[in-house]
Structure 1
């Protein structure tokens, strides 16, 4: 499948490389020349503009810094440049309202789209073991799933448009609570005279164990 990939940073670079490994024809764009060079090394074709990357693409995947950039890219570079009927997948972490707006507008122009933010970090992006939280119609999810499976270990349909982003922010809230609680517990352990390494050795194999540790 011809897949345009927009945004080749710490996360996107590894994701695009895994699409190549899965046999896809990846048409990549980023503002950074070093990122483009790394993408070429991984087997991607690179283009001087996102519009050119989207031309002839059957799917578009984006991994961008924020909602304003996502809107600008889809308004100016994707709509009218990617072939009508292409499946669009935004894997950025953005707000729910913007995700729903972008899906509504792109689908009004004849595309199918899903929001598909990820969990797992840079190592999982490189290793192809990300978790994708996908918001969109059943039809959009059915088209998105095989593409996302090339980049992740779990692809889960959260519900309608924007629910992928809703799941991501709630998951991040849980992570933040774990991180704060872990820091407070270690601070209290030290004040009570426990060696931090000894406390870690015990808590990491007990009920207090969590991803943040």
Structure 2
């Protein structure tokens, strides 16, 4: 078994670190949050007093951080030159492609193998060890990272060179965000046209309109398998995080002059829902509450788009 540093113990990182510990690895965990450190200890990890001390004499480093600025800062200040160059570096954060490529280039220049390995699956999958990893990096780096990632996920896919994991993640989530909005719109329209939601689900899930947002993550309570919609849209994948990913996708699209009208409109709608209407803490499927006219807002909120009323 290996000694592993895990830096970033939020909702996703805590479950991932615990699964590495359950597999028998010696996990040295660090986070700025005392509560996160206590949870990591309960999950079988050892508390490290700092990120730099966590990476000392390890065979692998895993980071799960909020944004590209945090990733760059942690690696430059606490990992490069502190961790052995034999350690495989794995950043599982969802960040912009350019920062991922820059940090991996710095790692390679310093003699390290490193991958960007963002995840899909949410908190439940992080805890269950059933995440999907989209991995960018050289063949050698991927080979070094794969045994560790397999402990935390059900699928580990080599997407290509440095930054390819981030590219795959933001493209996937742009598709997910746009398809969820379309799914919400169709359920609302179907009901207003007199169709029972379960009946519409039974039809569309077996027809050409079938998609993951409908069949696996239905935004309508009581329809299809259990989803956050059945728990008042609590848990799952927060709308604020979906908005973060959509903004990363739009940033990437602008950098390569790619026309993404659906992605752009999805970003606009999630901005309104998460920020102007205060829905950022709810699951991203809760955007149906804005579309079906039932979302409540105070008078200070921005005006809804045409056709949408705020209760």
Aligned-residue CA RMSD (Å): 1.2
Question: In the TM superposition, what is the alpha-carbon distance from 1:209 to its structure 2 partner?
Answer: 3.4
DSSP-derived class of the 2:35 partner: helix
C-alpha distance in structure 1 between counterparts of 2:86 and 2:68, whole Å: 23
Residue of structure 2 in register with 1:85 after alignment: 86
TM-score, with normalisation over the residues of structure 2? 0.67
Residue of structure 2 in register with 1:53 after alignment: 54
Instruction: Say if 2:194 is the partner of 1:155.
Output: no
C-alpha distance in structure 2 between counterparts of 1:74 and 1:195, whole Å: 53
Larger proportion of strand: 1
Larger CA deviation: 100-109 vs 171-180: 171-180
* Higher Rg of the two aligned structures: 2
Residue of structure 2 in register with 1:23 after alignment: 24
Question: In the TM superposition, what is the alpha-carbon distance from 1:200 to its structure 2 partner?
Answer: 2.9
C-alpha distance in structure 1 between counterparts of 2:209 and 2:125, whole Å: 24
Unaligned runs of 5+ in 1: none
Question: In the TM superposition, what is the alpha-carbon distance from 1:37 to its structure 2 partner?
Answer: 0.5
Residue of structure 2 in register with 1:112 after alignment: 113
C-alpha distance in structure 2 between counterparts of 1:88 and 1:57, whole Å: 10
C-alpha distance in structure 2 between counterparts of 1:42 and 1:35, whole Å: 10
TM-score, with normalisation over the residues of structure 1? 0.96
Per-residue CA distance 1:46-83 (angstroms, 9 max, x = gap): 11211110111111000000000000000111111111
Per-residue CA distance 1:61-106 (angstroms, 9 max, x = gap): 0000000000000011111111122110000000110000000001
DSSP-derived class of the 2:183 partner: helix
Larger CA deviation: 202-211 vs 31-40: 202-211
Residue of structure 2 in register with 1:7 after alignment: 8
Question: In the TM superposition, what is the alpha-carbon distance from 1:157 to its structure 2 partner?
Answer: 0.4
DSSP-derived class of the 2:212 partner: coil
Q: Which has the higher contact order (CA 8 A, sep 6+)?
A: 1
